Amino acid sequence: MIDWDATIIKHGYSCLPRTKRPKVVCVCDECGKKRDITIRIKSQVIDGQKVWLCPSCVKLKESGISSRMKRQWGNDNYRIDRSKSSKELWQSTGYRARHNMAVVAAMKSVDMHSILVNRYANSAARDIHRKISIALWKDDNFRSKVASGVQKSAVYNGAPSSLHAVLSGYLDDLNLEYSPEYAIGPYNFDFCLHLAKPLLIEINGDYWHNRADVVARDARKASYISNLSDLYDFMVIWEFEFYTKGRVVDRICTSLGLNNVTTKDFEFSDVIIKTIDTKDARIFLSQYHYSGSLGRGGTKFGAYLGDMLIAVGVYSPVGRKETATRLGYVTRDVLEVSRFCIHPNYHRRNFASWLLSRFNKLIDIKCIVAFADTTFGHDGTIYKASNFVFDGIVKPTYWYVDSNGWVMHKKTLYEHARSLRMTENEFAQKYDYKKIFGAEKNRYILVKHAA
């Protein structure tokens, strides 16, 4: 069919001119690719009476695969060269990014969706595919190759998901030996901890793993591994558990009987401070900050010992205009210390105030505001030690507590509920969270330049 929007942009007309062979932009009715072509004025493609296929799809319609490609892939040297060049391409970050964008764009296409639906609409085709899959998964070598491929994919893309990255960080902190994407029988498990009796861990996303079809699949997976309970322990960690500080680590440590906090000895002078990207800050705060999130974002600083990220500070625009105006500033002149978090193993005396002072010096702003939430035991000691001045009390707010006493910040719960298309109350009721009103917050300010 003709893409008139693209034709207008490229050729400057919305209807065909009176030339014999005008140029238009056509969209292949099979694969969805766009192509600039010349067309006859009387062509049935113009009014949609006839489909239009690109040259590649025409060849596939005629023979299933082009004769040229058959000759090429029949040559051993050609296959070896193609395999080598493909591996080299996938080593390029830019190529992988472009490929990912192309795949995402294709999958959003209605035509691409129709192709996939039509391919599996045939019951015979589905049955053949199922039999082939079952036969393949019985092969130990095939399962090992799949698991290896998933691990390599994780290396190429940074991590399978942010939750996998967070859990990997927890396991590294606990000095536990583990393997991601561990294959047992026909199933892959997110993590396997190599202990005397291996512990298999599955991470379940709250949205995806609450779908009826996925719930049934998870039940089959759990049933399969329960039959091997003499060989493996099994644990499921839900996404919402990651949003409560310490909850996931506590579950793992309790299961393994571990004492999880060991304070490291280090010199402040060895700490390197620099700006960090959003991904590193988000993963770190997801692991160690009581809110479990990056928050509003902003300027992000990290403290490193060698290659180890041991602390993060985030300076965000103020959430309310009144925060700045009551001090005689405009909003652009004030930033808030929205996140300040140190790795549990690196809490040394005076390190927090020392580090916060270093972060503050790197911020070119007139005024910095910070809030100490007394509900969570924060009384503002580090702010006072970093030359902040007490500026008043903010009225109490609320948070959520589950039946086991685990706390979730109200905004964390709200944002997570919204991502699942649920209200705050619906999420709280489903996962048995109760609203608890806490104590006040202490407000502190650091004036760097007078208003």
Rounded distance, CA 368 to CA 378, Å?
18
What pTM was computed for the model? 0.49
Q: What pLDDT does residue 61 have?
A: 61
Q: Which residue has the higher pLDDT, 42 or 389?
A: 389
Q: What pLDDT does residue 14 have?
A: 65
Six-digit token string for 397: 């707010």
Rounded distance, CA 409 to CA 91, Å?
41
CA atoms within 13 A on the CB side of 91: 6
Q: What pLDDT does residue 132 have?
A: 76
Q: Which residue has the higher pLDDT, 420 or 290?
A: 420
Long-range interactions of 301-307: CB distance < 8 A, separation 24+: 301/273, 301/274, 301/275, 301/276, 301/359, 301/362, 302/273, 302/274, 302/275, 302/276, 303/271, 303/272, 303/273, 303/342, 303/355, 304/271, 304/272, 304/273, 304/274, 305/266, 305/270, 305/271, 305/272, 305/346
Q: What is the DSSP string of 320-361?
A: SHHHHHTTT--GGGEEEEEEEEE-GGG--TTHHHHHHHHHHH
Q: Which of 321, 438, 323, 292 is nearest to 377 (CA)?
A: 438
Quickly list H helices, 158-297. 162-173, 212-226, 247-256, 278-288
All residues at 6 or more sequence positions from 68 whose CB lies less than 8 Å from its CB, including other chains: none
Q: What pLDDT does residue 160 have?
A: 47
DSSP annotation of 374? G
Average predicted confidence (pLDDT) for the chain: 80
Q: What pLDDT does residue 156 have?
A: 42
Amino acid at 114: S
Q: Which of 324, 385, 322 is nearest to 355 (CA)?
A: 385
Do residues 264 and 175 lie in contact, with contact meaning Cβ atoms separated by under 8 Å? no
Q: Which residue has the higher pLDDT, 346 or 245?
A: 346
Q: Is the pLDDT of residue 350 over 80?
A: yes
Out of 149-153, 202-206, 260-264, 337-341, least confident range? 149-153
Q: What pLDDT does residue 44 have?
A: 59
How do residues 220-270 score in pLDDT, each as one tens digit?
A: 888 778 778 778 888 888 888 887 777 788 888 877 877 656 778 899 999
Quickly state the pLDDT bin for 24 (edges 50, 70, 90): confident
Helix (H, G, I), strand (E, B) or coil at 431: coil
All residues at 6 or more sequence positions from 215 whose CB lies less than 8 Å from its CB, including other chains: 209
Q: Which residue has the higher pLDDT, 41 or 447?
A: 447
Q: What is the mean pLDDT of residues 99-107?
A: 73
Do residues 407 and 244 lie in contact, with contact meaning Cβ atoms separated by under 8 Å? yes
Quickly state the pLDDT bin for 351 (edges 50, 70, 90): very high
Rounded distance, CA 433 to CA 437, Å?
13
Helix (H, G, I), strand (E, B) or coil at 269: helix
Cβ–Cβ contacts within 10 Å for residue 259, how many?
7
Q: What pLDDT does residue 97 have?
A: 73
Q: Is the pLDDT of residue 93 over 80?
A: no
Q: What is the mean pLDDT of residues 278-282?
A: 85
Cβ–Cβ contacts within 10 Å for residue 90, how many?
14
CA atoms within 13 A on the CB side of 364: 0
Q: Which residue has the higher pLDDT, 176 or 120?
A: 176
Long-range interactions of 173-179: CB distance < 8 A, separation 24+: 173/249, 173/260, 173/343, 173/344, 173/345, 174/249, 174/252, 174/253, 174/258, 174/260, 176/256
Q: What pLDDT does residue 155 have?
A: 41
Helix (H, G, I), strand (E, B) or coil at 61: helix
Q: Is the pLDDT of residue 191 over 70?
A: yes
Q: What is the mean pLDDT of residues 126-148?
A: 71
Q: What pLDDT does residue 113 have?
A: 60
How do residues 48-69 score in pLDDT, each as one tens digit?
A: 656 777 776 766 665 555 666 7
- Domains of the chain listed by start with CATH number: 4-74 (no CATH), 159-256 (3.40.960.10), 268-447 (3.40.630.30)
Do residues 237 and 251 lie in contact, with contact meaning Cβ atoms separated by under 8 Å? yes
Q: Is the pLDDT of residue 187 over 60?
A: yes
